[in-house]
Amino acid sequence: MAAYEEFASVYDIFMDNMDYDMWVKYLHDIWEKYNINPKLIAELGCGTGNITGRLAKEGYDMIGIDISEEMLSVARQKAVDEGNKNILYLLQDMTEFELYGTVDVILCLCDSINYITDYDDIVKVFKLVNNYLEPGGIFIFDINTEYKFKNLLGENTFADSEEDAAYIWQNYYDEDERINEYYVNFFIKQENGLYERTEECHYEKAYKTEEIKKALNEAGLIFEACYDAFTFNLPNEKSERIYFVAREKGKILGGI
């Protein structure tokens, strides 16, 4: 069961409560705080392009990268429908992504980092980020916290329904492995009026802040700060999402 195959077709339906405009505003706040004026931006794990598309509309040249062909298909169609020509979408695994050159900012949002469940792969991604950032470029990413996995998701069942789709989400969190598993049954209305049932399985790893800092250091990136999501406050024991800001340093020191 691959993640985001069937979900891609209804992702935006069930995520319509997400305030993506607020997410983009927070990115601007971070750029202002760190005196960054980016022109070319890459987003890892861009999904259906909700962040990538909004930034492109603001005039930024965007590269969206995702491992799901289905998610990118939705993203590309949205770009066509909106007349958005400032986006290059690439079908790539973020642990092996390749760009044609360096960019000013790299983003990895919506807990995409949590989907990388092996620490060595985290370091691998961070090394690629360091390689493709302009000298002094900024890397902004977020993670779901162990608090969220353990206390909010836990061993619970969630459900939602819309006019043409519904889902049942069964969640399990393994505290020893720090792996969050969720099995989702989707019921998607077909052209004949019947609903087709499909199932997907997703895995996310809970990383501690110190693990992320260690991985950044191993990759040659400078850790700048981490924040309780959408604020500039330090993370606390009940933070559900943490944003990290890191800076490229290798090419400043003589190249890599």
In this structure, are strands 61-66 and 87-91 parallel, antiparallel, or unpaired? Answer: parallel
- Mean per-residue pLDDT, 141-146: 98
Q: What local confidence, expressed as pLDDT, does residue 250 receive?
A: 61
User: Do both 193 and 219 map to the same domain?
Assistant: no
Q: What local confidence, expressed as pLDDT, does residue 131 receive?
A: 96
User: Do both 129 and 201 map to the same domain?
Assistant: no
User: Do both 246 and 192 map to the same domain?
Assistant: no
> How many domains does one find in the chain?
2
Instruction: Give the whole-angstrom CA distance, residue 231 versus residue 201.
Output: 32
Burial 233-254 (b: 16+ CB within 10 A, else e): eebeeebebbbbbbbbbbbeee
Whole-number average pLDDT of the chain: 90
- Residue 173 belongs to domain spanning: 148-205
Instruction: Give the whole-angstrom CA distance, residue 99 versus residue 42.
Output: 9
User: Do both 75 and 195 map to the same domain?
Assistant: no
User: Do both 77 and 156 map to the same domain?
Assistant: no
pLDDT band for position 255 (cuts 50, 70, 90)? very low
User: Do both 177 and 53 map to the same domain?
Assistant: no
pLDDT band for position 148 (cuts 50, 70, 90)? very high
Q: What local confidence, expressed as pLDDT, does residue 256 receive?
A: 39
User: Do both 223 and 121 map to the same domain?
Assistant: yes
User: Do both 13 and 124 map to the same domain?
Assistant: yes
Answer yes or no: are the C-beta atoms of 131 and 162 closer than 8 Å.
Answer: no
pLDDT band for position 14 (cuts 50, 70, 90)? low
Asked if residue 64 is part of any domain, the answer here is: yes
Report residue 220: phi and psi, to 5°: 90, 15
Answer yes or no: are the C-beta atoms of 197 and 185 closer than 8 Å.
Answer: yes
Which CATH number covers residue 171? 2.20.25.110
Q: What local confidence, expressed as pLDDT, does residue 13 receive?
A: 56
Asked if residue 2 is part of any domain, the answer here is: no
